[in-house]
Structure 1
Amino acid sequence: MKKIRLKAMAKINLGLDVVRKREDGYHEVRMIMQTIRMYDQIELEPTEAPGIRVSTNLNYLPTNEDNLVYKAAKLLMDEFDVKKGLNIGLRKFIPVAAGMAGGSSDAAAVMVGVNRLFHLNLSQKELMERGVKIGADVPYCILRGTALAEGIGEKLTHLPPAPAGYVLIAKPGIHVSTKFVYTNLKANELESHPDIDGQIQAIRSGDLKKVAELCGNVLETVTIPAYPVIEEIKDVMKKGGALNACMSGSGPTVFGLFDDREKAKAVYENLYGGELAKQVYLTTFFNNRKSGR
């Protein structure tokens, strides 16, 4: 096999609850994860010369062991004593540091690709078990689709595909530190929690309006006071006809769920030409688990 290309898809959190802060410092979560049709492109090419080499279209991204794609490849290649080298070409389109698991998805795609390229014969479950060593979101990014994530995000339960709709993505021109958000989250003092179980039932029922109604993210209690533009974007989406709008992950990306493409497109054009958001995309859910990367 000479070269393979893969899609590393982004995710949003339809619901994100933090149950408690554990004694080990980690936060226990319950999240509904959803893959969307937005992706980075990964190209893997084996080489006779040993070593891992990373290239990317963004000059501010690391190309050494600080990049998750490098760590993901090294993890498997070291374990299975792969003698050949690997060139990794990474073309980023998912917004960086945006709460959309772009880095984790890139790592997941590389693990899938290395497994395929060097005939390691690992199952999806075995890849996911190794992926958590790279990051808590990596197992989900290997799985993809609609899933409940628990623990620190590594305990995953398949859910039926979320009901079809339109997803408007808007990222303001700011970067939010995940560490900042979780450090400042008063997990044991939260006054309200999203109804994750109710949202799961709405997904099982195929009720997009109810899924949207129950969207919630407790991390907004930290991120929005620090970055009010997030609330402003949410308001624009809701006033434009979104069933609901919510922040994804630790932010700052906002997504709006629509059942009407024309309304979604109108809000897209409004935000695209405005000052609130620097990156705006209109897309849909991805749920075909049987298709290739």
Structure 2
Amino acid sequence: MRLVLESFAKLNLFLEVLGRREDGYHELSTVMQTVDLADEVVVEEGDGVRVECDDPDVPGGEGNIAHRAALLLREEMRVREGCRILIRKRIPVEAGLGGGSGNAAAALAGLARLWRLDVPQGRLAEIGARIGSDVPFFLYGGTRLCSGRGEVVRPFAPIPASTRFLVVTPAVRLPTSFVYKEFATKALTSGRPSSNLKPAPESDPESGLPGLFNRLEDAVLPAFPSVRETKGRMERVCPAGVRMSGSGPTLFGLLPPAGVEDGALLDRFRDCRFAALARPTSCGYRFLPPLRTGQSTEGGGRNGN
């Protein structure tokens, strides 16, 4: 059997860092939204566990998060069969879009079907949380309020399906660990009072979205002029707001219903690593046809097995 899935990207509509945890991670409050920028994940029968990726910047084999996902699912469910996973990357890496975590979630969902496992979505999310903080979110997808280190996922009011985002990744690369270290240094020396914290998002009645906010911009924008300059350019065409996704450097903005023609708009950002238009999705992954009769194509918010 060979299964093909789309693995969607995410945007952090709201992200607050509430403090440092005893386990070394940061306590977060974030609203995440999956969007229709997607990698392709293929799972098929094979010997052992093999993972290959067409992007030279993404490790294959044991260095890939999807490999860890497959090994853990195999161990937890006592599976004897093997698998081969092929990842075709379209989502920029080290960009704050969650591509790797989304790949791991799609791999878990695909392998659960490939191996004919009767495993609830919640159990897959528990396994996913042991692999990466954002993996449980991608197993549900849509609009979700996440807390803890990101692994505690709760429903949140979905944003309008008509919402359009401009998504731009500047050329600079920002590893997540570097951004959080930079943030910790600035937070400890800034004297920022705790009353400035925003533990919960406030809704914007006009857009139907939570108020766009990302605390990690405090660390990234002063240190990286290219991100700051790109944000300024985007604000000219996205007057409703531009924010960084996750630990960056990707920025996203809300596009008005009418404005610059799509092609001309993207041409303005040809100097950046990535630029695209995106719409929200209601799922974190999607099985692509052909499918057996009666199977759903969407994952996230329902049992994708």
Question: Size of the alignment, in residue pairs?
Answer: 280
TM-score, length-normalised on structure 2? Answer: 0.86
Alignment of 1:109-258 (within 5 A): 109-163=106-160, 164-186=162-184, 187=187, 189-190=191-192, 192-194=196-198, 196-199=200-203, 202=204, 207-208=206-207, 211=209, 214-258=211-255
CA deviation after TM superposition for structure 1 residue 261, in Å: 4.8
Other-structure match for 2:62: 65
Preserved CA contact (<8 Å) 1:236 1:267: no
Cα distance in 1 for residues equivalent to 2:214 and 2:28? 11
278-287 or 99-108, larger mean C-alpha shift? 278-287
Which whole-Å deviations, capped at 9, do the CAs of 1:4-39 have from their partners, x for residues lacking one?
011111000001001111233221110000000011
Other-structure match for 1:278: 273
TM-score, length-normalised on structure 1? Answer: 0.89
Preserved CA contact (<8 Å) 1:54 1:88: yes
252-261 or 180-189, larger mean C-alpha shift? 180-189
Please identify which structure carries the higher helix content: 1
Other-structure match for 2:287: none
When residues 211 and 190 of structure 1 are mapped into structure 2, their CA distance, relative to the original with a 3 A threshold, is: farther
CA deviation after TM superposition for structure 1 residue 269, in Å: 2.5
Alignment of 1:257-272 (within 5 A): 257-263=254-260, 265=262, 266-272=264-270
When residues 264 and 17 of structure 1 are mapped into structure 2, their CA distance, relative to the original with a 3 A threshold, is: farther
Gaps of 5+ in 2: 285-295, 300-305
CA deviation after TM superposition for structure 1 residue 230, in Å: 1.3
User: Displaced runs of 4+ in structure 1, greater than 4 A?
Assistant: 288-291
Cα distance in 2 for residues equivalent to 1:190 and 1:267? 37
CA deviation after TM superposition for structure 1 residue 134, in Å: 0.4
Cα distance in 2 for residues equivalent to 1:108 and 1:157? 17
Gaps of 5+ in 1: none
CA deviation after TM superposition for structure 1 residue 291, in Å: 5.0
Preserved CA contact (<8 Å) 2:140 2:283: no
The amino acid that maps onto 1:260 is: P
Structure showing greater relative contact order (alpha-carbon pairs closer than 8 Å, 6 or more residues apart): 2
Other-structure match for 1:22: 21
Preserved CA contact (<8 Å) 1:11 1:101: yes
Preserved CA contact (<8 Å) 1:16 1:218: yes
When residues 264 and 167 of structure 1 are mapped into structure 2, their CA distance, relative to the original with a 3 A threshold, is: farther
Other-structure match for 1:6: 5
151-160 or 99-108, larger mean C-alpha shift? 151-160
When residues 270 and 193 of structure 1 are mapped into structure 2, their CA distance, relative to the original with a 3 A threshold, is: farther
